Structure 1
């Protein structure tokens, strides 16, 4: 049996080509999908038997997309520090001891908070992301899962590209298309050159996006100058990063 509802607010932000705003706007929802958008009186007149839920003091708008997030319990920790000190003193030690059940619990919390705040799609860079996928499947948000990967002997306490590929093969396109998996490197220099090249080729092989951090700190620029004699973006170009699919 189909379920229909009219959701109404004080204003409706359409995000159409002219960013139209409809006063006393409403959305007709049928079987979980938007079927019509317009003035409440018009939507109600066309669907007289459909119940109306009016939300006071509200703006109806499309869900917000968070294009880079990290599930975790260390949000707000030592944010006064430069990024490299923050990583080495707080974040990397946490990853050394993080357990899969803790990672999953963090994703449940973060996705629930996101949905409550109007963020319906998250690109999440995290570890042990099978649990993250389960959380997104249950909560109902869209998830681009990007495993925190390290492919370098000095950074062997992250997920691996083998784990990343297994995650792609298991979860990419699941939950009705709401959960997708990309290739990820925690930082580009957290992989040696062979790992960097394999990450790029993995994205091409599976037709996924490739997500990483780049040029976040001066130490990163110095490390790439030492390894390659180039700045990180030029190294990415050499590796074929800009030939990987553009996917969401």
Structure 2
């Protein structure tokens, strides 16, 4: 296989996507058509498509093909989408999780979430608020919205442990990728209470829409971080079996 060739195909298609020749939700030409277009082997085309998927341009969907998921506003990429529990297993600094709220609401109560998750006003969503604490201080406040019909049986015990583990091991779903938007804001009065202090009066806010491998959105996350401790990413893909 010609390594330079599949990289060239990757560059050509990623440039076409970035320049809006292919836009979000478009389906790329079939593997067979790409083989003909670039005059290469099917293996070379598949390597290029895998690279496009790893870098957040497409999602390969069984029975449909390669669907464009790239958002032109994205500027930064990383290769892994991990749960908070998984992150902690790799770090020496250990955080605890406190569940502040776990309730069901009609989607119409949160219009932005309703639109992002493609819901009807009467559909039910979970609202989950959690504090991530270290040495007696809250460093992260996560507010999550999950579709109740897709994530049934959610409870405080699961929320304190790992929701992603529950989704993948108990419900048998596959978490694939997320789109994220990052802003920096002054703390509100409510956030000051949740963070327990005002030493750092600003928060970094990460708003994420997380998708399954069939491209269905199932989670809207608003993660507030102390601005002094924050590093950010905006596209992440979940890798399995590693």
Higher radius of gyration, 1 or 2: 1
**Structure that is richer in helix per residue:** 1
**Structure that is richer in strand per residue:** 2
What TM-score do the two structures reach when normalised by structure 2? 0.26
